Amino acid sequence: MGQWMDGYLAKLENNRQESINAGGESRLKVQRDLGKLTARERIDHLLDPGSFDEVGSLVRDTRPPYDGKLRPTPAEGVVMGYGEVDGRPVMVFSMDFTVMSGSLGDQAAWKIAELVEMAGQRRMPVIGIMDSAGERLGIKNGQTGLNGLSRLIRAYCLYSGVIPRIMLLLGPCTGTMAALPVLADFLIMNEQTGFLWLGGDIKTGEAGRAEFHMEKSGQVDLIAEDDADAIDKTKQLLAYLPQNCWEKAPWVDTKDDPDRREEGILAVMPDNPKFTYDIHEIIEKIVDNGEFFELQPDFATHLVTGFCRMAGEVVGVIANNPDELSGIFEIDSSDKYDRFMNFLDAFSIPLVNLVDSTAYVPGDKWERVGIIRHGAKNLHSYSHLTNQKVTIVLRRAYGGANIVMGCSRMQPDNIYGWPTAEFAPTGPDAVVQAVFHKELAKAKEAGNYQEVYDSYLNILKEHFSVMNAREWTSYYMIQEPIDPRDTRSKIIRTLKATRNKKEGLPDKKRYIKPA
Amino acid sequence: MGGGIEHIERQHGRNKLTARERIDVLIDAGTFNELGSCVNTTGQRMDGKKSEAPCDGAIMGTAEIHGRMVTVYASDFTVLGGSIGAQHIQKTAELIKMSAKWGYPMIWLLDSSGGRLGHQDVIIAGIDWYFLLQSQVSGVIPQVNVLMGPCIAGQAYAPTLCDFLLMCRETGNLWLGGPRQTQAATSEKFNKEVGSADYHMALSGTCDVVGADDTETILYTRELMAYLPSNFREKPPYVKPKDDPLRAVPELVEIVPDVYEKSYDMHDVIEALVDDGVYFEIKKEYAKNLITCFCRFNGESVGLVANNPSEPGSILEINSCDKYYRFLQVLDAYNIPLVNLVDTPPVVPGEDQEAIGLLRHFGKILDVYATATIPKISVILREAYSDAGSMIMGGVKGLGADLTYAWPIARFAVEASTQDYRKVVEGIEEDAYEGYLNRSREKVDVFDVGRTFTAQVVDEIINPDDTRRKIIEALNITRNKVEKLPERAKIHGTPPT
């Protein structure tokens, strides 16, 4: 090697050193004192050792700061590149809070935009780690900041449904950039340091925190107790996801018997249909090794969503939970349902629906916020699903819930019912009131109201029972009644039988979905 | 005769037209080609009571509106309350399929008590069949619903799954649970205001247009159809304009104050710009800070979306996002160009909106705007702040705007927000705002952003007088635009909800 090379190698080494030094010793200390890992430590935790290939480490913020004070800006505050998680390729970026409080600069926006495009073109997941006090984007003097941010957001949208997009919020994220974590397919938020906000007034102490966005705004999928926990959860989540929309999610040998008969399942459901039970207990008995990876566990808890495996294949489960609000539907559960079913379909992950719901809630309070269009949104989405889909009706399939959960004409691949299943346009009590109100009024005068009411109710309950669905073409159709203890094996067999099914939709440019 | 003289008189007594009268108002005279007129009911009540039901309460066929073919379905309230029997279901479902196959818009004239409860019939499907078919042909043909009667429970989804819902103030009511049902389920009592046309227009955002009576509502439908193509393969119909494409609009500088703090009504601007001052507003009384309307520029059908500074608030509120989201999907599905008139006040909604998902609603539009391949033309009148909504209005080109013009008084910033996060987030540098975070908040003059093309904020600064001419020119330029998006396995992505 000639002597001339030495100088350049020294420059290279210097760049590496600046990257390690990040925003400087004092800023690194602030980061550690907050209980946070640094941007590079987070990447190290996430990726397989030695698999990280960085791009853009030489980039700096070249603009003079407003106050004339020069600050170090290695990699322009965003560490990013290619790496592997459990041997599977991903693209990753990590905002560096020690560099100008992690604020998004012009060059950083361009870097991330290109990383997203690379991930899209190479058809692999993109994982973002946010820790940023805001934006320092410019539009003056030819500065490209806003242009870069819009390009980033656009790229992020264009690859929606092409590659899985995961975001970790391990610090703040504000301004227009705050749209990115909610555009992501999955958002994991640190309960201590995560903060997500567009920019308006803040009134309470919880505003913008992980719990706020989990329980209220419904924008967070998982809450983590610290950075390491968030990264572990990301790895668990990735195991359920394919690399892109053309590939299958990885199969794992779970060593659980596909034909396992579950006696205990009979004990979960109470005899009286007015009593409740926790759907989690059923799910855990059905899935491989009882492992259920639940999403949004504290948002719209009357609808449970999550990943699991069945005979080693990844499956998405969507289930009413009678234990919470009797398993009703309202606008939050509609939104939760909608997002998840679209994800499953986009990535061809089978959908298993477990139905036990008294349907959408009526009344002024709900009409006012558009409960009808929220239900319509679900019908619209379900009608466009071409992935494998199985519906199991456990008990009450009333009204709109019956339909949005994939019954009858909504064309699930198979629909099974437990013998306890009951299909009705709405609760049988309400149907008696609606259809026989004249007869009931007469009975009231005649003094035999209860007798008449009960006789109509019994007729209807018999009429609505799944064991009475004797016409294949019936509205209240199941294709087969099943023994609850065989639910697991029935689902697994169906998934096997439908593995190569193809379903078409009419040609169109885009659909018009209710809001 | 439908359900007979007595029922027809009762219908008229409620100031409702009959199904056939409604069809006559809707279509060009003499163009109705009825299908399935000899159908009757195949069902009977559970207690054995039999009834007659001409057409099984569903009158349908093909017809023309402004000389263009459409299909029409009208439920006949005089026949068993317009309720849906087995033959009724099959007729309507087949009509949806035929309309989509042939590529004609389908118009529903709805006045029905819903499912024929308590009846036994030749069961082939429930009303869920409509929903599947309506959804699957969503974006294939325009589906328009005119509601002139009650619409309860399951059936309530049918109008909501159409692209447009027009409701009659006097006769239309849309409920998930009607008064009796709701009372049975939750003991709540409410009057007819709940679920009325004005209610769904102003509050729930489910209704697009309100008409005073049946005739007016149906005539609005005729107006609306003039802006829509027959199906997604076609361009919207051209109407030879009377107006001059080169017409200068000097009145605009009178309407729009050059003092940013002063407001004005954007409707006045729209009226001055469009052909003959005629536009057709959608969701007029909902999220009024954002105007969505159809109009024509030099005879071409255009979807116009504009801020309205005379209404308080920013456009980025959840309801305005939903309003825009629906409208923009229609435009992109049916090849109708988008024109944005931008003037966002420097306002960002706060905690009330954040708590119910402001960001994901913002995300919904970002997703549709970014993936819409129609011509997207934007004119910035005064102010454009990205976090107040300008990003989804073509206020910066990177999100996919084709041409962005700005008036000479326009000013820009990345952020309108003035939040100081040092109070709520630990660890932010003390001098961050003085040093770098305020860079995004600096309001920049249009001549500063316009003098570079690397910023990609404006293509050209225009004289306000020329705004109409420039929009028409831009529409001509982008007429044959082709844009290919990255391939994906399914028709949809995974946008926020």
**SS3 at position A186:** strand
Within a domain: A248? no
| Same domain? A221 vs A329 | no
Q: Is B460 exposed, middle or buried (0-12, 13-18, 19+ CB in 10 A)?
A: exposed
Mean pLDDT of chain A: 94
| Same domain? A212 vs A74 | yes
- pLDDT tens-place values along chain B, 497 residues long: 788 999 999 999 999 999 999 999 999 999 999 999 999 999 988 778 888 999 999 999 999 999 999 999 999 999 999 999 999 999 999 999 999 999 999 999 999 988 887 788 877 778 889 999 999 999 999 999 999 999 988 889 999 999 999 999 999 999 988 787 787 777 888 888 899 999 999 999 999 999 999 999 999 999 999 999 999 999 999 999 999 999 999 999 999 999 999 999 999 999 999 999 999 999 999 999 999 999 999 999 999 999 999 998 888 999 999 999 999 999 999 999 999 999 999 999 999 999 999 999 999 999 999 999 999 999 999 999 999 999 999 999 999 999 999 999 999 999 999 999 999 999 999 999 999 999 999 999 999 999 999 999 999 999 999 999 999 999 999 999 999 999 999 999 999 99
Give me the sign of the Cα torsion angle A401, A406, A409, A410: positive
Q: Which of B128, B205, B353 sits opposite A409 (nearest CB)?
A: B128
Chain B residue closest in CA terms to A28 = B427
Chain centre distance of CA B146: 14
Is A66 close to B203, i.e. CB distance below 8 A? Answer: no
Rg of chain B on CA atoms, in Å? 25
The single-letter code of the amino acid at B317 is: E
Q: Can you give the CATH number for the domain in which A377 is found?
A: 3.90.226.10
The single-letter code of the amino acid at A257 is: D
Is B160 close to A400, i.e. CB distance below 8 A? Answer: no
- pLDDT tens for residues A356-386? 998 888 889 999 999 999 999 999 999 999 9
The b-or-e profile of A283-316 (16+ CB within 10 A means b, else e) is: bbbbbbeeebbbbbeebbbbbbbbbbbbbebbbb
**SS3 at position A480:** strand
Is residue A301 scored above 90 in pLDDT? Answer: yes
| Same domain? A47 vs A135 | yes
B449: enclosing H helix or E strand = helix B446-450
SS (H, E, C) B100-137: HHHCCCEEEEECCCCECCCEECCCCCCCHHHHHHHHHC
Q: Kind of pairing, strands A422-424 and B33-35?
A: unpaired
What integer pLDDT is reported at residue A486 of this predicted model? 97
Choose, out of B290, B429, B430, B431, the residue to mutate when testing the contact with A (most A CBs < 10 Å).
Answer: B429
What integer pLDDT is reported at residue A97 of this predicted model? 98
CB A328 within 8 Å of CB A358: yes
Nearest to B331 by CA among B359, B293, B288: B293
Is residue A334 scored above 90 in pLDDT? Answer: yes
Within a domain: A260? no
Rounded-to-integer distance, Cα A255 and Cα A258, Å? 9
| Same domain? A166 vs A105 | yes
CB B365 within 8 Å of CB B321: yes
Rounded-to-integer distance, Cα B92 and Cα B314, Å? 42
Judged by CB atoms within 8 Å, which residues 318-347 of A form the interface with B? 334-336, 338-339, 342-343, 345-347
ipTM of the prediction? 0.96
Distance from CA of A7 to the nearest CA of B (A): 33
Rounded-to-integer distance, Cα A45 and Cα B485, Å? 34
Q: Contacts of residue B195 in chain A, CB cutoff 8 Å?
A: 367
The b-or-e profile of A369-386 (16+ CB within 10 A means b, else e) is: bbbbbbbbbbbbbbbbbe
| Same domain? A332 vs A441 | no
Q: Which one of A7-11, A116-120, A471-475, B111-115 scores highest in mean pLDDT?
A: A116-120
Residues of chain B with CATH 3.90.226.10: 5-225, 252-477
Phi, psi of B302 (to 5 degrees): -140, 145
DSSP H stretches of helix in B173-251: 179-186, 197-202, 214-225
Rounded-to-integer distance, Cα B3 and Cα A29, Å? 83
What integer pLDDT is reported at residue B207 of this predicted model? 98
CB A76 within 8 Å of CB A105: yes
pTM of the predicted protein model:
0.96
Within a domain: A139? yes
Is B323 close to A506, i.e. CB distance below 8 A? Answer: no
CB A403 within 8 Å of CB B153: no
Asked if B360 is an interface residue toward chain A (Cβ–Cβ < 8 A), one would say: yes
Within a domain: A257? no
Neighbouring residues of A294: CB distance < 8 A, sequence distance ≥ 6: A280, A304, A305, A306
Q: Contacts of residue A179 in chain B, CB cutoff 8 Å?
A: 359, 362-363, 366
What integer pLDDT is reported at residue B380 of this predicted model? 98
Within a domain: A92? yes
Is residue A2 scored above 70 in pLDDT? Answer: no
B459: enclosing H helix or E strand = none
Is B329 close to A513, i.e. CB distance below 8 A? Answer: yes
| Same domain? A439 vs A311 | no
CATH fold of B5-225 reads 2-enoyl-CoA Hydratase; Chain A, domain 1 (3.90.226)
| Same domain? A215 vs A328 | no
Distance from CA of A29 to the nearest CA of B (A): 10
| Same domain? A404 vs A447 | no
The count of domains in chain A is 3
Q: Which residue carries 């033309």 as its tokens?
A: B377
Within a domain: A203? yes
Asked if B195 is an interface residue toward chain A (Cβ–Cβ < 8 A), one would say: yes
Q: Which residue carries 């391939």 as its tokens?
A: B487
| Same domain? A194 vs A341 | no
* Residues pairing with B62 in the sheet: B33, B71
Q: Residue B486 gets which letter from DSSP?
A: P
Asked if B204 is an interface residue toward chain A (Cβ–Cβ < 8 A), one would say: yes
**SS3 at position A174:** strand
Chain A residue closest in CA terms to B157 = A376
Nearest to A393 by CA among A409, A359, A426, A417: A417
CB A362 within 8 Å of CB B182: yes
Distance from CA of B114 to the nearest CA of A (A): 11
**SS3 at position A135:** strand
> For the domain B252-477, what is the CATH code?
3.90.226.10
| Same domain? A436 vs A471 | no
As a 3-state breakdown, chain A gives helix, strand, coil percent values, each rounded to 5, of 40, 20, 40
Q: How many helices (H) and strands (E) does chain B have?
A: 16, 21
Chain B residue closest in CA terms to A430 = B184
% of chain A beyond a pLDDT of 90? 82
- pLDDT tens for residues A212-253? 999 999 999 999 999 999 999 999 999 999 999 999 999 999
For B108, half-sphere exposure in the C-beta direction (CA atoms, 13 angstrom radius) is: 33
Asked if A508 is an interface residue toward chain B (Cβ–Cβ < 8 A), one would say: yes
Q: Residue B110 gets which letter from DSSP?
A: E
Within a domain: A253? no
Is B492 close to A362, i.e. CB distance below 8 A? Answer: no
Distances (CA, A) of B65 to A153, A419, B32, B226: 42, 52, 10, 8
Q: Is A410 exposed, middle or buried (0-12, 13-18, 19+ CB in 10 A)?
A: buried
**Residues spanned by the domain of A456:** 427-464
Is A403 close to B46, i.e. CB distance below 8 A? Answer: no
Rounded-to-integer distance, Cα B76 and Cα B55, Å? 9
Is B128 close to A185, i.e. CB distance below 8 A? Answer: no
Rounded-to-integer distance, Cα B108 and Cα B428, Å? 58
| Same domain? A412 vs A343 | yes
Within a domain: A140? yes
| Same domain? A72 vs A163 | yes
Q: Distance from first CA to last CA of chain A, Å, rounded? A: 65
* Residues pairing with B109 in the sheet: B74, B146
Is B440 close to A380, i.e. CB distance below 8 A? Answer: no
